[in-house]
Structure 1
């Protein structure tokens, strides 16, 4: 990554000589010879360790290393990473696609990457590295040979998307939807829309693609996709099959090995963005054959005759309903059980949202509904019909119940990540 070394040298007026950078790391355990290590937070405790591993360069804020030629001392490591990433991006010919939205960002990013990387050298945000640290870190993974980068961009408060856009220098952008996420800080859905839609100021109008059925997004100028006829790209004939979903976009047929209407939308956004950058329909369909989704996104896991659908990475009222709808429609002879846990960052209406989700689940034809978490417990007090509901205060009890009574069942696990529901599957 010679360009990156040049950028750092120019920014900090350093002549590196024969030094090189193999890869950029934030985790000391992953450092190999030639890597650049950003010592963020407690990373400074591992500087000696990464130098022994022959890291090419360490960037930290600890003056005790100022005499070491392999260490660059800065005032703020995160701000330095952002600055370096912004300048490095300016030196790259790569086209960057930003993915923004309340729900579906990670899955849309994964689908789009599967399509684009089947033809071009590309990079994507790994996991959920989508904040003020994750975005610059992702950009610093991009190599000079790469043609495209897919950058997931998240936020939890005002001004964050603008900061990320300034770092990323986007060429294209997708907005998946606007939901009731981060209301603890954003207060209402309109504020969420105003924050996320800021990406429109950083890409050309015809390079912005969004879900046009969303009541907020439909007001934007750009290219829209959705089930309604007023969209530029119209989704129709959606069908949930045993091995995935079938649908049309402007009368062209597509098949994807994912489940649910929400993944139909995520796939459609990815398909049309791939075409927007110049890929053919044949290219797109080839890329759709080998989709790899980040774990805990409606992930199917078989364990001891029990099929788990692990959708426990995160949760909001919108994503809860999407998951429950999809789960209800799955064709199976097995009884269906849902395990629902607390949703976070919903602000003053959080109890209202939890009551709504419990009531929504009760209207579905599920064998049993299991609730977990303090918010779900309080919401359950407001529910009159509790006959089909079991409340648990610890995950080990849920696990024991499943092992004793729910063998050979189909079980959906859904809740915000802080609940650590995935431990039930362990």
Structure 2
């Protein structure tokens, strides 16, 4: 049964969202895009008369050894407050994510009310994919709705084990993301232009290999392009690369006519943009310089290719767009995609989303994925435990199995 066909009236719905939002130095939310993406699903459930219990994680609590500091920095309480403002409705908050105290709160809730539980990763059972922890969560609900595509590559209790405890449904946003990404892989309009930039080099090298068999044009930029330029000897002054990345780059045939690398770049000794900035070829970058953006010649070539596209997929900015002096390339590429006649325009990843929001272009894309790692893994053909639990296995998934349940 689909999400839209399910009778939610009076049902306790465990809604798994990804509210792992960026925080500033004061611990305040700096971008609430992921919260905004969940609003339509929450409104739907409220209108349907569901009792909504939202579960999520925030950050990496295990990296903070001091328990008091950990709870102060990574509590979901501020998330609940921001969500309440966005919904214009009261959102209850529980300091715990399991146990009798939470059960008592849920028992008193009425249809349409919303409760946000504390950070799931405060319990070690979450990342261990513990069936015991999943059962503790399961006592709070009648049905489990997964609306967190961006966490589906994690074999965690709230993604995998929970689907064995409760009837489970794919949320509408998750389902939409699955279908858009599947279309990009299986039946995209032609020509398909794929632009890969940003960091997460190892993951993106896997995606590049996959798209070499699918895309009509493969435009590379950012750190992933820098890595390829260095490994192929086209940027001699680049620092030494990890051996694994060098081996992966060796498998990429740069004579393939689909592949485009930067012709010129903006190089500088100062990433603040206050120092001397040179437009130069990658091979002429000096030892004391780094590459912070693509140059105008590369921008022009990439714009011309994008203008021909009927489908575009973009993952990762082409430069250090947060600094104005190095934002030109990313801004111009984003505008080129926004203005193109392509019928399918997909973008994804945290930095890409941040760039599109900075340039006010989010409404010019068919779909924007919030799932960086999950999106890349899916596009590389890997099995995602969260999708498998919902019966949405990738048709060409690898044989890698999810982490075993901890009973």
TM normalised by structure 1 equals 0.34
Whose relative contact order is higher, 1 or 2, with alpha carbons under 8 Å and at least 6 apart?
A: 2
Which structure carries more strand by proportion? 1
The normalised TM-score by structure 2 is: 0.35
